[in-house]
Amino acid sequence: MNHRERIMAAFNGQPVDRVPFSFWFHFVKNEDKVDAMEDPGILDALYEGHRRYINEVQPDFVKVMCDGLFRYPSDGLVHFKSVEDFAGIEALDREHPWIQAHVKSARRISQLRDETVYIYNVFSPSMLFRILHGEEVFMAAFRENPVKMGDAMKRISEGTVNLVRALMEDGGMDGIYYCVQNQNVDLISDEEHEKYFGEADRQVLEAANAINDCSILHVCGYEGRHNHVDQWTGYKSKAVNWAVNVEGVPLSEGRKLFGNRCVVGGFANTAQGILNMGSEEEIKAAAKKIVEDAGREGLVVAADCSLPFSIDWKHLIWVREALESMG
C-alpha cells in the first residue's frame, strides 16, 4: 500500500498492510503570534519544514500547519476591546488576501509528495478568539453578552467556511483537521456552548464534509485542557482525535463513543511524555501497545495534539519502524 491507500483504508475501517501513523508540530516559533502577511518568509520556512519532515519521517498523512496565519484578520476581532467591537467582526470572502495566503501555502505543500492525504489545520471560531485574546478576555466577553459573541462567531464561521472551500477546491487539501474545544468546562455549560457556539462550530466541518469525506475532528486537550468528549459525538467526520492522556478516554472506548469512527492518537504530546523523553526501546514498545489495545483496523497512531517544537524526529521514525515490524 502507498501512504494514501493505507490512510484511506484506516479511515474506512478496512484491513491495512501495516497500521499507519502521523505526527505534527509547528515549524515556526511563536506560530500564533508571528504574521506571515507581514513577513512572507515565514511561509517559506513553513514549506521547508514540511519538506524535510515528509522526506525524513515519512508520515502516512500530512497535517498541514498554518503557522503565521493564525489571526483571522477582521478588525473587530484583531482590535477587540469590548463587546461593542463584536459588531465589527465580519465574514471574510474567498478572495481575501489572508485566505489566499493559506491556499497558496497549502497548494505548495500538497505538491511535496504524491499519493498522500493532506489535512489542513483549521480552528473553530471560538478557539480563534481565545487564541488571539486569551482566556480572561474571552470569559469576560462571554459573560457580558453571549448573544453578541455567538453572532460574531457565526460570522467568523462564514469566513472560515470560505477558507475551507478554497483550501479543498484550490489548495490541494483532502480535508481539514478541525480543532474544537470546550472553552471552559467549569464556567460554560454544555448547553451554553451548544446554544452560542454549536451552529458556528458545525458549519465549518459540514462545509468540508460536503466537498470530501476526509476530515478529522480534533477535540483539543492541549496543555491539559479538559473537554466533555461526549459533547462532540454529533460532529460528523471521517476520523476523530482527542487527548487520550488528558481525558482518560482510551482509543477503544472513544471508538465506540464516536460510532466506530477511525481513531487517531495514542501517544501523549507533552514534553514529559514517552514520545519526547523515552528511549528507542520504550517508544517502540509503546507504539506496539497502542495497536494491541486499540486494534489494527480503524486506527492511525498519532499523539494527543501538536508535539513539542524541539522533539527529535528520530523518535517518530522509531514509531514507524515499530509499526513496520508488526506488519
Q: pLDDT tens digits, residue range 259-306? A: 999 999 999 999 999 999 999 999 999 999 999 999 999 999 999 999
pLDDT surpassing 90 at residue 33: no
Q: Domain segments of the chain: what residues?
A: 3-326
Strand order of the sheet with strand 299-303? 61-64, 117-123, 175-180, 216-219, 239-242, 262-267, 299-303
Asked if 132 and 74 touch (Cβ cutoff 8 Å), the reply is: no
Tally of CB atoms within 10 A around 32: 15
Whether residue 30 is predicted with pLDDT greater than 90 in this model: the reply is no
Q: Is the pLDDT of residue 222 over 90?
A: no
Q: Is the pLDDT of residue 216 over 90?
A: yes
The pLDDT of residue 223 is: 76
For the segment 134-149, what is each residue's pLDDT rounded down to a tens digit? 989 999 999 999 999 9
Q: Which has the closest alpha carbon to 101: 177, 47, 26, 61?
A: 47
- Long-range contact pairs involving 31-37 (C-beta distance under 8 Å, separation at least 24): 31/65, 31/67, 31/68, 31/70, 32/70, 32/71, 32/131, 33/70, 34/67, 34/68, 35/68, 35/71, 36/67, 36/68, 36/69, 36/101, 36/105, 37/68, 37/69, 37/73, 37/97, 37/98, 37/101
- CATH no. for 3-326: 3.20.20.210
Pairing assessment for the beta strands 262-267 and 61-64 based on DSSP bridges: unpaired
pLDDT of amino acid 10? 98
Handedness of CA 285, 260, 123, 109 (dihedral sign): positive
pLDDT at 184: 81
Mean local confidence (pLDDT), 80-99: 96
- Those residues whose C-beta lies under 8 Å from the C-beta of residue 289, and which sit 6 or more positions away, are none
pLDDT mean across residues, the chain: 96
Residue whose cell numbers read 453572532:
151
- Residue-level pLDDT at 17: 97
Q: C-alpha distances in angstroms, 307 versus 118, 271, 296?
A: 18, 8, 23
pLDDT > 80? residue 181 = yes
What percentage of the chain reaches a pLDDT higher than 90? 92
Higher model confidence: residue 186 or residue 205? 205
Between 166 and 187, whose confidence is greater? 166
CB 153 within 8 A of CB 196: yes
Region 11-26: mean pLDDT is: 97
- Of 178-187, 229-238, 263-272, give the lowest mean pLDDT range: 178-187
The pLDDT score that the predictor gives to residue 28 is 92
Closest among 107, 123, 119 to 22, alpha carbons compared: 119
Whether the pLDDT of residue 32 is over 90: the answer is no
pLDDT in tens, 51-79: 999 999 999 999 999 999 998 999 999 99
Q: Work out the average pLDDT over 222-245.
A: 93
Alpha-carbon Rg for the chain, nearest whole angstrom, is 19
User: pLDDT band at 308, cuts 50/70/90?
Assistant: very high
